[in-house]
Amino acid sequence: MTSSSLLLRPFSGTDSEFFATLASDERVVRFIGYGKPWNQQDIDACIVSALQHDDLNQVGASRWFVASMAGQAVGVVFSTRQENSIEIGYWVSPAHWGRGVGGTMLDQTLVMVPELFGLTTLSAGVAPGNTISAKLLTKRGFTLTVHTDQLDHYVLSPQSN
């Protein structure tokens, strides 16, 4: 794929079904949260909170994006202000895995999120078994700062952006 064929656009209410499809797919959530498909109640609560569009300076404020190729949704990017960083997350529809979609989404996220929230440290929490996600991050300069059995914490500081 070429990077220009993938577009990141703001998540809207009409993308709810796409998000729900991903969140209820055991392959997608294998390394997310409790590693089990989400129930509809959790999906709905998460979407409501994402569409709230709190002030971007407020801790907890989040913005989601949909990655699309030729008008078809292929992934979702999450960004949330934490105390000391903007935490990012990314899910690709399994039908598109292994074709560079995740890498391209992340490349665009690393440009767009600092533009949106202001230049700041980016972070990502990755389950230790999620080697593909860890590779995506380290290839782009993220470093592992905290390791636990449940979650590895990666950061990318602004000067290495």
Ligand X SMILES: CC(C)(COP(=O)(O)OP(=O)(O)OC[C@H]1O[C@@H](n2cnc3c(N)ncnc32)[C@H](O)[C@@H]1OP(=O)(O)O)[C@@H](O)C(=O)NCCC(=O)NCCS
The residue ranges that bind ligand X (CB under 6 A) are 28, 31-32, 89-92, 96-103, 124, 126, 130, 132-133, 135-136, 139
Dihedral Cα 11, 161, 119, 56, nearest 10 deg: 20
Q: What angle, rounded to 10 degrees, do the helices at 40-50 and 16-23 form?
A: 130
Angle at CA of residue 60, ends 7 and 51, nearest 5°: 50
Q: Which residue is nearest to ligand X (CB)?
A: 102
**Least CB distance to ligand X at residue 70 (A):** 16
**Least CB distance to ligand X at residue 46 (A):** 15
CB distance 47 to 74 below 8 Å: no
End-to-end CA gap in the chain: 24
**Least CB distance to ligand X at residue 104 (A):** 7
Residue 89: phi and psi, rounded to 5, are -150, 160
Nearer to ligand X, 58 or 155 (CB): 155
Nearer to ligand X, 113 or 136 (CB): 136
**Least CB distance to ligand X at residue 127 (A):** 7
Nearer to ligand X, 117 or 152 (CB): 152
Nearer to ligand X, 105 or 159 (CB): 105
